[in-house]
Chains A and B, each alone.
Chain A
Amino acid sequence: MANTYMLIAKVTVTGTQSNIQFTNIPSTFTDLLICHSLRTTRAAYHESIAMEFNGTGSNRTYRRIYGVNNMNIDNGAFMYGGQAAGNTNTPSTAFGTSMVYISAYAASRAKIALECGGSENNDTNTLRDMVASIWNDTAPITSITLTPENGGTIQANSTAYLYGIKNT
């Protein structure tokens, strides 16, 4: 019987680190799913996570619906890989949670990633978002890098899991 969701890799941060990388991603799945729980050192309630495929920062765009106690939209040359709690977010055990679904990651065409995530702390300053990101590149995705957008580091006890999804 099929094993639809398979764990490809997991990262548990023990100290601090500048990013999270998944490398040597096999091409044997249909889609990919990233689930993460992150907290960063940014002096804010929340932090966005930038996403790169294959170490390439070009040909990236996104459209986003997001809210910080309200609702906004924006777009730009970037890919969103989720939301994390910032260091102002209390208590220190508060983490952001996100999921990123990447379809046809091994196909020879542009890649679409759907992300939804947020951080919460019983306050009005945290952020929730839903994003469609595009990597306009035909190369199969073999690595994924998640980096705090504003340059901080990822704190201990943060976790990130990469799953491969098979449709047969």
Chain B
Amino acid sequence: MALTYEPISQGIVSSLAAYFEFTNIPNTYTDLVVVADCKYNSGGGDLNWRINGDTGSFYSWTRFEQLNSNRANTTTLINTTDATQQALIIGHFFNYANTGVQKVVLSQSGNVQQNVGLSVGTWRKTDAITSIQIYAELSGAQWAIGSRFSLYGIKAA
């Protein structure tokens, strides 16, 4: 029987870190899932996805959530929910290795502050995703020790 859902990589923050990054993501899956079970050491704001280290203005996102109502932006990252307190964010990256399509991520999130939200983000490039960086909205914030990030690959066949 085919294995359709496999762990690719995972990490637990052992010292304060400005970001966490999955690199060298293989192109052998159909979709990716990132589970971020994390919080900042202080401050930080929303959790952001950045793809392939791209800091250009090729991102846009829209979300609805309970605490901050609806937000949308065209920016240099893809925004999800606040991780100032312990948060759980599950991001689904679809068709991540298909070089014929722009990349979309759906993120479901919640935290102990508490908030609940759902965001959709687009990276308006067709490159295969080979790295995903996870970092804070506000500069100076760092991932707290014990924050855990897991990357899974999903095969459609």
Contact A166 B148 (CB under 8 A): no
Contact B7 A132 (CB under 8 A): no
Chain A residues with CB under 8 Å of B10's CB are 30, 167-168
CA–CA, A113 and B115, complex, Å = 12
> Which chain A residue shows the least CB distance to B87?
A112
Interface string of A79-109 (1 = CB under 8 A from B): 0000000000000000000000101100001
Quick one: which of A61, A65, A113, A114 contacts B64, CB cutoff 8 A?
Answer: A65
Contact A114 B86 (CB under 8 A): no
Quick one: which of B66, B112, B117, B150 contacts A110, CB cutoff 8 A?
Answer: B112
CA–CA, A81 and B112, complex, Å = 17
Contact B7 A167 (CB under 8 A): yes
Chain B interface size, under 10 / 10 to 19 / 20 to 34 / 35 or more: 20 to 34
Chain B residues with CB under 8 Å of A160's CB are none
Stretch in A2-10, A19-27, A149-157 with 4+ CB within 8 Å of B? A2-10
Q: From residue B139, how far is it (CB to closest CB) to chain A in Å? A: 26
A134 at the binding interface (Cβ < 8 Å): yes
Quick one: which of B7, B64, B117 contacts A166, CB cutoff 8 A?
Answer: B7
Chain A residues with CB under 8 Å of B35's CB are 31, 103, 167
Chain B residues with CB under 8 Å of A133's CB are 110
Contact A64 B112 (CB under 8 A): no
Residues A167 and B150 in contact in the complex (CB < 8 Å), given A4-B5, A109-B86: yes
Contact B110 A132 (CB under 8 A): yes
Residues A3 and B3 in contact in the complex (CB < 8 Å), given A63-B115, A65-B65: yes
CA–CA, A63 and B5, complex, Å = 30
Interface string of B80-121 (1 = CB under 8 A from A): 000000111010000000000000000011111011111000
- Please report A residues at the B interface, Cβ cutoff 8 Å: 1-5, 30-31, 61-65, 73, 75, 101, 103-104, 109-110, 112-114, 116, 130-134, 136, 166-168
- Please report B residues at the A interface, Cβ cutoff 8 Å: 3, 5-7, 10, 35, 37, 64-67, 86-88, 90, 108-112, 114-118, 148, 150, 152
- A–B complex contacts, Cβ < 8 Å, 8 sampled: A62-B114, A65-B118, A104-B37, A109-B86, A112-B112, A132-B111, A132-B116, A167-B152
